Amino acid sequence: MPKFYFDIRINGNALHDDIGLEVNALSDARAQAIEALGEVVKDHHKRSWDASSITVGVRDESGTTLILAQAVLTVHESSAGTE
């Protein structure tokens, strides 16, 4: 079973996966990357409303990046309705 590594980058700050995850196929790694991206987005918005770029990169065992899943978060608040 192939092993893939899931690196996370938030606003340029990188967290490199040194453990990896064995999955059946690249399509499963893609699904894991998208799920991880959603979890990071959900967790990150609780701590910061700043514009954010969040990327999950999937590497194979040779270190080649095969997938990049990215979300860009921007929150605009209207001054209407504020006191």
Report the domain count for the chain: 1
In a domain, 81, yes or no: no
Report the pLDDT value the prediction gives residue 42, as an integer from 0 to 100: 84
- The pLDDT, as a whole number, for residue 6 is 98
78 part of a folded domain: no
Whether residue 27 is contained in a domain is answered as yes
Within a domain: 62: yes
Residue found by looking up tokens 């980058």 in the block: 9
Residue 8: CB partners within 8 Å, gap ≥ 6? 14, 15, 17, 36, 40, 54, 55, 56, 57
pLDDT of residue 73: 80
* pLDDT for residue 78 is more than 90: no
Is the overall model pTM greater than 0.85, yes or no?
no
Q: Please check the confidence at residue 50 and state whether its pLDDT lies above 90.
A: no
Q: What per-residue confidence (pLDDT) applies to 71?
A: 92
Structural domain including 33 reads 3-73
Give domain status of residue 82, yes or no. no
61 lies in a domain? yes
Query: What is the pLDDT averaged over residues 34-63?
Result: 85
Burial of residue 64 (CB within 10 Å: 0-12, 13-18, 19+) is: exposed
Separation between Cα atoms, residue 42 and residue 65, nearest integer Å: 24
